[in-house]
Amino acid sequence: MDFIIRTPRVPTPGETLTVHSFDTGFGGKGANQAVACARLADSDIKVSMVGNLGDDGFGADYFEALKREGLDSKNVRSLKGEKTGISTIIVDDDGENRILFAPNANYAISPEESKDWELVPEEADVVVFQLEIPSRVVYHNVRQASKKGKHVIFNPAPAELLPEDIYQHIDTLVMNETESSILSHSKSGTPEDIAQHFLSKGIKDTVIITLGGDGLVYATKAGLKGRLAAKKVKVVDTTAAGDTFVGGYAVQRAKNVGKDFEYEKALGFATLAASITVQRRGAMDAIPKRDEL
């Protein structure tokens, strides 16, 4: 669940500041990306969400929200005695956001490898991962999905250094500029250089680095590369822009399984969807439907 605070600016240490507004909403990177997939997909694409909720009121409300989106939620578990994960999102007058994440039920997974760790649906062709459940569980499932021939899309957020072997199990690595700097141990070099750096680590298909208002760069194992400009729009709130982009890209991948993939067409679709999201307030509420593009 998202607790969203809109403020003219971020307060300084020790300062009390009166803000513009406070709202609650459904969020979380995985759920935002799943909802983006569901809203942006063709009717023949099935979207399934995998994750944990608490057995509190937030969790009950969340199940109803997922049903309304037409998502398959049979792999979303309600955990007795746990609280649903929350994020506090602070949005300033420039539309920039700062997020504080309390995992709660997201992290309520066995500390030792077990059946509890097996999360990837067998029927999935494309699987999207983030890092809002324990990273060791994510890495296990990335490896399993890769071995089963699924297209693995990995969005390393919240960002952390990845095990060196994990790159060879990722088909598409998509991250923003900050995340790419953390993962590459470097704040120097052009985004194009950093994309090539990650390809050299073993990424199987594509590296995408989103640059906010400056668009994105991408590079592929096959040697394709380029830069796409962002849509020029009035930015209100960037909270779910990255999640919308990932969802838009994922449905293009799912739509083209077994076919030649048109990278710039897919990236343009995802960029257009994200450009609509940033013009709206909220996280999940801001994600557009396919007929709005």
Give the length of the chain.
293
- What's the rounded Cα separation, in Å, for the pair 194 and 219? 10
Q: Where are the alpha helices (DSSP H) in 115-240?
A: 135-147, 177-184, 191-200
**Binding site for substrate: residue ranges?**
28-32, 132, 243
* Tokens representing residue 282 in the block: 């909220």
- What's the rounded Cα separation, in Å, for the pair 210 and 127? 20
* Tokens representing residue 157 in the block: 């957020």
**Binding site for ATP: residue ranges?**
176, 210-215, 242-243
**Binding site for K(+): residue ranges?**
237, 239, 277, 280, 282
Distances 67 to 74, 108, 201 between C-alpha atoms, Å: 10, 23, 39
* Tokens representing residue 88 in the block: 């506090």
DSSP SS3 for 28: coil
In the chain the first and final C-alpha atoms are separated, in Å, by 27
285 is catalytic: no
Of residues 72, 243, 260, 291, which has the active-site annotation?
243
Instruction: Tell me if 20 sits within 8 A of 42, measured CB to CB.
Output: no
Query: So which residues are the catalytic ones?
Result: 243
